[in-house]
């Protein structure tokens, strides 16, 4: 299921000493976090990785890769032995998911909210992902959800900001904008979970998003959502569905989740 995008790894050749400020997770240098992120993406695609895969992914020579792999293994982030497959330990999986979340949330913010060109957004996210704190990141993600849900904001509002970035001009259409906001609120059913059309997450197609209005049961899907900090009222997006239709990759609160279809059926959403 080729749904993981390549990431730019610009600091791997540097030992700049930048440290992650993420609480509850052991600090790693920016360089080692870049390697861990690369391993995560390769393992997501192939279930395991070899040193040559990491070298190809990062564009770094084999000797440098070997040194980084040894350091990550010594710290308990990966299972590694020369000429053997590389896998992430539970500790490494948790840290890598956190790095990927930081990177993609920042990149999404730069592209969707600030209208930065994708390449510049990618490079800037690469630089900032190692220093942004959890509280700041959570606030950025909450802001993006607020913009999506608030009838006074949304894509129309962002479109006005984009136009202002291109050519500064007075915003003298407040009355028309307000009327659009009121209409949008009616279309959304006032964000009332009991109004409007709801459906299961499993019925959404790739690229479709919905507002979580109910999570049935306390099984696997409830656990995964809880670990991601998601709950009723958060936006969840279907990123891809595998060829069999039995595995759904979704993104919520900046985290990627692989859900079985039977689990996704327990998540009730309202599309908007």
Closest CA relative to residue 34, chosen from 63, 70, 72, 81: 72
- Of 172 and 199, the structure prediction assigns the larger pLDDT to 199
User: 112 pLDDT band (50/70/90 cuts)?
Assistant: confident
* CATH class in words for 30-104+121-127: mainly alpha
3 state DSSP class of 110: helix
- The residues near 163 (Cβ < 8 Å, ≥ 6 apart) are 169
Can you give the length of the chain in residues? 272
**What does the domain layout of the chain look like in residue ranges?**
30-104+121-127, 154-187, 199-271
Query: Angle CA(2)–CA(262)–CA(239) in degrees, nearest 5?
Result: 30
Give pLDDT tens digits for 71-87. 999 999 999 998 889 99
Give pLDDT tens digits for 29-70. 999 999 999 999 998 888 889 999 999 999 999 899 999 999
Contact indicator for 222, 186 with CB cutoff of 8 Å: no
Euclidean distance between the first and the last CA atom of the chain, given in angstroms as a whole number: 27
Contact indicator for 270, 198 with CB cutoff of 8 Å: yes
Q: From the CA atom positions of the chain, what is the Rg in Å? A: 21
Phi, psi for residue 5 in degrees, rounded to 5 = -85, 150
Q: Where are the alpha helices (DSSP H) in 47-173?
A: 51-58, 62-74, 90-108, 118-128, 134-149, 154-166
Examine domains 30-104+121-127 and 199-271 and report if their fold is the same.
no
Tokens of 181: 């906001």
Closest CA relative to residue 95, chosen from 47, 44, 45, 24: 24
- Of 185 and 161, the structure prediction assigns the larger pLDDT to 161
Could you give the C-alpha distances from 143 to 56, 146, 189, 240, 268, in angstroms and in order?
36, 5, 21, 24, 23
Phi, psi for residue 186 in degrees, rounded to 5 = -65, -45
Look at the pTM and tell me if it is higher than 0.95.
Answer: no
* CATH class in words for 199-271: mainly beta
DSSP annotation of 269 reads: E
């Amino acid at each position: 299921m080729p749904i993981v995008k390549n990431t730019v790894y610009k600091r791997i050749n540097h030992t700049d000493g930048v440290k992650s400020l993420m609480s509850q997770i052991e600090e790693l240098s920016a360089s080692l976090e870049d390697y861990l992120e690369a391993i995560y993406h390769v393992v997501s695609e192939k279930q395991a990785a070899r040193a040559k895969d990491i070298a190809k992914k990062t564009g770094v020579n084999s000797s440098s890769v070997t040194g980084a792999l040894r350091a990550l293994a010594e710290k308990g982030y990966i299972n590694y032995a020369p000429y053997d497959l590389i896998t992430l330990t539970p500790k490494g999986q948790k840290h890598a998911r956190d790095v990927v979340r930081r990177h993609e949330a920042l990149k999404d913010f730069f592209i969707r909210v600030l209208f930065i060109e994708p390449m510049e957004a990618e490079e800037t996210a690469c630089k900032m992902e190692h220093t942004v704190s959890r509280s700041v990141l959570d606030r950025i993600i909450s802001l993006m959800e607020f913009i999506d849900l608030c009838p006074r904001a949304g894509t129309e509002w962002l479109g006005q900001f984009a136009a202002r970035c291109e050519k500064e001009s007075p915003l003298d259409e407040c009355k028309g904008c307000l009327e659009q906001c009121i209409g949008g609120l009616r279309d959304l059913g006032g964000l009332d979970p009991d109004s409007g059309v709801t459906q299961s997450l499993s019925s959404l197609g790739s690229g479709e998003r919905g507002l979580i209005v109910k999570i049935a049961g306390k099984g696997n899907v409830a656990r995964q959502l809880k670990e991601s900090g998601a709950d009723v009222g958060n936006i969840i997006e279907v990123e891809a569905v595998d060829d069999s239709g039995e595995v759904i990759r979704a993104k919520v609160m900046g985290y990627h989740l692989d859900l079985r279809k039977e689990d996704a059926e327990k998540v009730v959403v309202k599309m908007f």
